[in-house]
Structure 1
Amino acid sequence: MDIAFIFTEFPSGQVSNSTRVFSFLEMGYNVTVYANTCGNKHLSYEVRNKYPNLDIIYFQKHKGYLLIKEFLKDFFIAPRISLKRWQKAFNKELFFIFYLKKILGGRGLKNDSVTLQKRRNAPISYLRLKQLENKNHDFFICFFGPTGLNFLFLKELYPKALFCTYFVGFDYSSRLSQYGSTAIYKQLFSMSDIIFAKSTFSQQTLVEIGCNEEKIILDYNGINLNKFEHCTPKVQTNETVKFIIVSRLIAKKSHILILKAFIRIISINKNFKFTIVGEGPLREKIEEFIKKNPELFKRVELIGNISQEEVVSLLRLHHVFIHPSTTSIPFGDKEDTPTAILEAMAIGLPIISTFHAGIPDLVKNNENGILVPERNIDYLVDAINYFLNYPEKINQFGNNSRKIAEEKFDTGQNCLRLVKILKENQKKIAQ
């Protein structure tokens, strides 16, 4: 199996996006990653050291002279090498001309947002075509919807290869709000062999916006459970209950709402600590909010970015993971299944979160955590108080968290299942 993964950024801060790449490498498959940019240079250095066999190719940036150079190279340099190569180059150029005509809408160019987006991407698609030609990949796997759109020409160029696209949250929520039309994905849904959804919520949403249900396959985010030793906390009577959140400091993670909930709780129960791990644009606002409340200041610790190993060690020292995600305003961005929640579950922590996108797939209400409505401080206060008043439930819910992680979110098992799905669908194309 020769697999090509296509990203906007690789590697990026979103660790879950890279999980499939590393899993396939560790299983011995040939893997090539194509990306527009490197999202994290330090992480890129670590990835190249750990996986020296991983081929990472970054696409050329769109510049006018590059278009001319690539076009002339095929028609003036190739003939000097051989007539056969010139014919092959000519066929590729001819293919792209017809492809452009197709994506631009044929006769009478339209001016709707969907066509305008395709028109803007046309020169970039040409350069990507030049870098991807003469490749022999069996599978093209795009992360995420917009990336799949930009690389649809691969399905026509390599009809025997399986073309797959992952959808994650923003691509079927905020991105659709920006374009104002579900038609943006019509061609992608039609031409893709498989559309991967990361939660039952995204699966249902994709059907609602026009994807054939038979094409959608549920493939949960997974984590390597071997890196997360199960150590569910046992809280002793009168012991301080320690809550923690690990996330970027952005509005949809609801840090200020959590702090407001703890302010209410202080008047009833002061036997808690709260740790915030992460960086982001709201750090200054969060710091100011904490400083204005002396009782809160004594009980809240704000830590910046730390390594994953340090995060794991810190999770083991806490009792409850809190992560009340919300739909962002104004574009309605959703985040599907947060990896941070999965990691806390793998350690064996109970979860407080929201009925948001794919989170109910991770957190079973009153089984391994408590789910509350988005932006509802009253329910959030009740959920926090529940673990303060019934600390014995922390151990019970925490054990259930680990059990659910083992059953549904082990990346090794999920990857074996994915390989089977890819091979079965490849056989269908061959027939």
Structure 2
Amino acid sequence: IKERCFLVTGLGHIFSEAAGASLKARAIRYLCVRLYRSALRGARVVFVYNDADDDDLRRYRMLQGDLSPTMISGSGVDLDHFEFSKPPRSGPTFLMVARLLRDKGVFEYVEAARIVRRSFPHARFQLLGHFDSNPTAISREEIDGWVREGILDYLGTTVDVRPYLAACNVFVLPSYYREGIPRSILEALATGRPVITTDLPGCRDTVQPGTNGMIVKPRDVAALADAMAAFAQDPDLAEKLGKRSRELAEAKFDVHMINRMLFAGMHLAD
């Protein structure tokens, strides 16, 4: 196949700071770089979602010649399928949607929920996502323990996240995983929900702090609790910032706009 185009949705955990600098991590990263160089050889275009992946592709010289990565704003979101809705007046209800992995910030979410509930016992904290075979996976026993404690509502899994997004006030993803641009956040933006997420590649690209959400340091439980408490204290804040989320989705993450960028980059546009 002479004409090849590549979409790097995220280089993965091994290129993150969390992977560490151990001999094993360096060896795996070296092997991954060699494999990426081989896979991307002769590419017409290589699309990336965020600055960190762009930087790593350049730093490790994964592309040949003068080819540079082409930045796009994630996979995009269907703004017709994920319609805007006002958040419920009751609450607040916080929702996290993710694979049940430690690196996604599940423990930090639960610990922050404990703190917030001391001042706002009416606040609800929901978790939606499937169990995973990853070594950092959260166990069913851990989830059940949090549910029995009354800290968390575990919603199981679903093929349609829209009703859950419509029923929440604030979307939370305290990930310290090496993300591309999380699709779960894009769907929350389109629905008109403010987002609390971490200052990491991919996640921070979806939030303008104070405008459509809040950004906190990874693994900072106190900062995450403070951000959630701000919404619990001001019932109107979620609606105000949620409108800005929808505007950002329309301006930056519309799937039709993203598709046009992809076709243009592949020289397939009319």
In 2: Cα distance, 1:214 partner to 1:403 partner = 33
* More moved, 346-355 vs 261-270: 261-270
Matched, 1:231 2:100: no
- State the distance in 1 between where 2:38 and 2:154 align: 46
In the alignment, which of 126, 144, 162 is matched to residue 287 of structure 1? 144
What corresponds to 2:251 in structure 1?
A: 407
Q: Where in structure 2 are the equivalents of 1:75-224 lying within 5 Å?
A: 154=1, 158=2, 162-171=3-12, 173=15, 177=26, 179-181=28-30, 182-211=33-62, 214-219=67-72, 220-224=74-78
CA distance in 2: counterparts of 1:305 and 1:234, whole angstroms:
22
Query: 2:109 and 2:95 mapped to 1: Cα distance?
Result: 11
Give the distance between the partners of 2:232 and 2:127, measured in 1 at CA.
18
CA distance in 2, matches of 1:207, 1:362: 23
1:373 matched residue in structure 2: 217
Work out the CA distance in 1 between the residues paired with 2:128 and 2:88: 22
Question: Per-residue displacement from partner, 1:200-227 (whole Å, max 9, x unpaired)?
Answer: 3322222222145743111222121110
TM-score, normalised to structure 1's length? Answer: 0.54
CA distance in 1, matches of 2:248, 2:198: 18
In the alignment, structure 1 residue 307 sits paired with structure 2 residue 159: yes
CA distance in 1, matches of 2:123, 2:68: 48
Partners of 2:245 and 2:29 lie apart in 1 by 39
Aligned to 1:261: 112
Question: Highest CA radius of gyration, 1 or 2?
Answer: 1
Q: For the residues of structure 2 that align with 1:177 and 1:363, how far apart are their CA atoms?
A: 32
Structure 1 residues 50-109: Cα deviation after superposition (integer angstroms, max 9, x where no partner): xxxxxxxxxxxxxxxxxxxxxxxxxxxxxxxxxxxxxxxxxxxxxxxxxxxxxxxxxxxx
What is the TM-score when the length of structure 2 is the normalising length?
0.84
- Whole-Å Cα distance in 1 between the matches of residues 11 and 91 of structure 2? 38
Aligned to 1:325: 175
Structure 1 residues 283-308: Cα deviation after superposition (integer angstroms, max 9, x where no partner): 321212332x3xxx1x6311111121
Partner AA of 2:176 in structure 1: T
Amino acid at match of 1:367: T
Deviation at 1:404, TM superposition (A): 0.8
Give the corresponding residue for 1:113: none
Q: Deviations over 1:374-407 (max 9, x none)?
A: 1111111111111111222211210111111111
Indicate the structure whose relative CO is greater, using CA pairs within 8 Å and at least 6 residues apart: 2
CA RMSD of aligned residues (A): 2.3
- Distance in structure 2 (CA, Å) of the matches to 1:227 and 1:218: 25
Which one-letter code corresponds to 1:232 in the other structure? Answer: K
Show structure 1 runs of 5+ residues with no match: 1-153, 328-333, 427-431
Q: What corresponds to 1:95 in structure 2? A: none
Q: Letter of the 1:347 partner, please give it.
A: T
In the alignment of these two chains, the number of paired residues is 250
1:382 aligns with 2:226: yes
Amino acid at match of 1:166: L
Q: Are positions 1:355 and 2:199 aligned together?
A: yes
Cα 1:274–1:186 shift into 2, 3 Å: same
Contact in 1 for aligned 2:104/2:173 (Cα 8 Å): yes
**In structure 2, how many angstroms separate the alpha carbons of the residues matched to 1:228 and 1:178?**
42
Separation in 2 of the partners of 1:423 and 1:336? 24
Match for 2:84: what amino acid?
H
SS of 2:70's partner is: strand
Judge conservation of contact 1:202–1:358 (CA < 8 Å) in 2: no
Maintained 8 Å contact 1:336/1:356: no
Q: How far has the Cα of 1:178 moved from its partner?
A: 5.5
Conserved? CA contact 2:45–2:265, under 8 Å: no
SS for the counterpart of 2:47 is: strand
Match of 1:245 among 85, 93, 96: 96
- Maintained 8 Å contact 1:193/1:215: no
Which SS does the other structure have where 1:315 is aligned? Answer: helix
Shift of 1:353: 0.7
CA-to-aligned-CA distance 1:235-273 (integer Å, 9 cap, x gap): 3xxx42111111111111222221111111222221311
Q: Flag structure 2 segments of 5+ consecutive residues without an equivalent.
A: 20-24, 133-137
Give how far 1:187 is off: 4.1
Compute the displacement of 1:188 (Å): 4.2
Aligned partner letter, 2:223: Y
Q: How many Å separate the matches in 1 of 2:248 and 2:85?
A: 15
What is the Cα deviation at residue 180 of structure 1? 3.5
Alignment correspondent of 1:140: none
Local SS of the residue matching 2:4: strand
Percent identity between the two aligned chains: 24
- Which amino acid counterpart does residue 173 of structure 1 have in structure 2? F
**Paired AA for residue 278 in structure 1:** G
Instruction: Pick closer, same or farther for the CA change 1:178–1:285 going to 2, 3 Å.
Output: farther
Counterpart AA for 1:169? G
Mapped partners of 2:264, 2:61: distance in 1? 26
Query: Distance between the aligned counterparts of 2:172 and 2:202, measured in 1?
Result: 16
**Secondary structure at 2:184 match in 1:** helix
